[in-house]
A and B are shown apart, each in its own frame.
Chain A
Amino acid sequence: GAVVSQHPSRVICKSGTSVKIECRSLDFQATTMFWYRQFPKQSLMLMATSNEGSKATYEQGVEKDKFLINHASLTLSTLTVTSAHPEDSSFYICSARGPDLGIQYFGAGTRLSVL
């Protein structure tokens, strides 16, 4: 149980385009999901908390207009990187808060490469 699916696993796009990443909880409902960014050989940095039916809460320094988050259902949150630039290239990982006392279950991550 507690499976989180993230799609796509890898995306390559041109500078200036927008990219959408999906995060789904497959066997449980998740009122809260999280989006992280991870640079090579570094730790996970929380970007935002996604709450079903309400606006996302962004961490300090994260541009909300750059990283659009939508959590329209109890099983799906999306992260859209708008007008992507090479510096946005990174590994993006989502997690979903499970039904068991708040444990976070992670997706497999999305590697974004902006040319």
Chain B
Amino acid sequence: GENVEQHPSTLSVQEGDSAVIKCTYSDSASNYFPWYKQELGKGPQLIIDIRSNVGEKKDQRIAVTLNKTAKHFSLHITETQPEDSAVYFCAAAISGTYKYIFGTGTRLKVLA
């Protein structure tokens, strides 16, 4: 079945440094890839997404890149701040449906 792998599982960076989280998906027909941020005890919040007809998308300090050939997509956070500390999930939409397969999550800790 469809699968999304996410790495690393934990990531600690110094405030101001960049953080990169990587995901690999298995369904070559997937065409939509959202990223969610989840704070403790809360629901996931959409922070950025990308569709398969685009290779890169940026929104202020956050960017996502997509390599369809390799079936990889990555989240890049620049100039990290303590409030960026959270768990980040990547997801891939299952082709032909509106359902998502989620990655296993990355716990990001930004050290002040």
Contact = CB atoms under 8 A, between A and B. Distances in A.
Contact of A103 (B49, B102, B104): B49
Nearest to B87: A41
Contact of B43 (A97, A102, A106): A106
Interface residues of A, number: 22
Interface residues of B, number: 20
Interface string B11-51: 00000000000000000000010101000011111100100
Given A43-B89, A44-B89, A106 B45 contact: yes
Contacts of B107: 41
Contacts, number: 47
B66 interface: no
Determine chain A's interface SS by DSSP, over half rule: strand
Contact of A106 (B44, B99, B104): B44
A113 B17 CA distance: 39
A44 B34 CA distance: 14
Nearest to B103: A43
A6 interface: yes
A93 B44 contact: yes
A108 B42 contact: yes
Given A102-B93, A104-B34, A109-B41, A49 B46 contact: no
Given A103-B34, A106-B36, A44 B98 contact: no
A32 interface: yes
Contacts of A46: 99-100
Interface of B: 32, 34, 36, 41-46, 49, 89, 93, 98-100, 102-105, 107
5 contacts: A6-B43, A49-B98, A106-B44, A108-B42, A108-B43
Interface of A: 4, 6, 32, 34, 41-44, 46, 49, 93, 97, 101-109, 111
